[in-house]
Structure 1
């Protein structure tokens, strides 16, 4: 029995999306079950007697999921961390490691001219075309943080030639 190509494509797309976000019923699952559902984490951190698994969905994704496991390796919490509430916690003087612990991996990293450091950019769910950016100095300390406009949103004036 042959199925049309579009059926196969649709099924593949649905299965690819199934691991994007944690499901509501993840509490109590172990690490292997989480990885089976979401794929391997990008980063694993030790936190307060447990473990945090980080799942950034980028670079153009607008979500980063933290899945916290207790000391026995069971899920106790899941959270999408690319939110304005989290962004307000990022302040000048913080270390780059503290930013990573609060927001996860940036979607894009750009170097600044004259070796002044770099800018970490995080796309996030919002009604406007903007992202959150953190300027990291060469000593790995936050110099500034705020909102910017991603390149795909910059409007260019049309060039007319005669």
Structure 2
């Protein structure tokens, strides 16, 4: 039992080095300070006026944090990307790169049968058990998008015991 408790404490100490979300007041922090706090970003992309660090917290995380840096590499703002407001910006015909720009990396990707494309799924914070899904066709364009029910929320038919 002591060994188990020791392992739990050791693992907790290792994970305490990086944070899940940006600092409460990150404005003015350097990129290096953000990376020291949150770890290496999944994506770093150029945006107008500077760059953006992207931190998806999936596959079961409910957030994707965007940390915007100015041209000198200092934080100007942060954004939680997985919001219904951003989901409304996803429309049929958009390219998959545009979807990644708005929402970040999907939490889960499922391949559709008969080479029809893939479905990107994004868990997000909401009062219901649902996620947002984007169907991407073989042409790498959005075919459809909407809300669905993640597998862990689906009811399972139970077979009664005899």
Could you tell me the TM-score, scaled by structure 2's length?
0.91
Query: Which residue of structure 1 lines up, in the alignment, with residue 147 of structure 2?
Result: 147
CA spacing shift, 1:51–1:134, aligned 2, 3 Å: same
Residue 134 (structure 1) aligns with? 134
Counterpart CA distance in 2 for 1:154 and 1:17 is 36
Matched with 1:43 is: 43
Counterpart of 1:71 in structure 2 is: 71
Instruction: Tell me which residue corresponds to 1:26.
Output: 26
Per-residue deviation at 1:27?
A: 0.5
Give the total of aligned pairs.
159
2:124 aligned residue? 124
Q: Is the 8 A contact 2:64 2:103 kept in 1?
A: yes
1:94 aligns with 2:99: no
Say if 1:128 and 1:52 are closer, same or farther in 2 by CA, change over 3 A. Answer: same
Separation (CA, whole Å) in 1 of partners of 2:128 and 2:152: 12
Q: What stretches of structure 1 of length at least 5 have no aligned partner?
A: none
Distance 1:147 1:84 in 2: 10
Whole-angstrom distance in 2 between the partners of 1:26 and 1:161: 56
C-alpha change, 1:109 and 1:15, in structure 2 (3 Å) is closer
CA distance in 2, matches of 1:11, 1:149: 32
Deviation at 1:25, TM superposition (A): 1.7
Q: Give the Cα separation in 1 of the matches to 2:10 and 2:125.
A: 25
Q: CA deviation at 1:12?
A: 1.7
Which 4+ stretches in 1 moved above 2 angstroms? 8-11, 13-18
For the residue of structure 2 that corresponds to 1:120, the secondary structure is strand
Unaligned runs of 5+ in 2: none
Instruction: Say what the alpha-carbon RMSD is for the aligned residues.
Output: 2.1
Q: How much does 1:36 deviate?
A: 0.2
- SS at 1:62 equivalent: coil
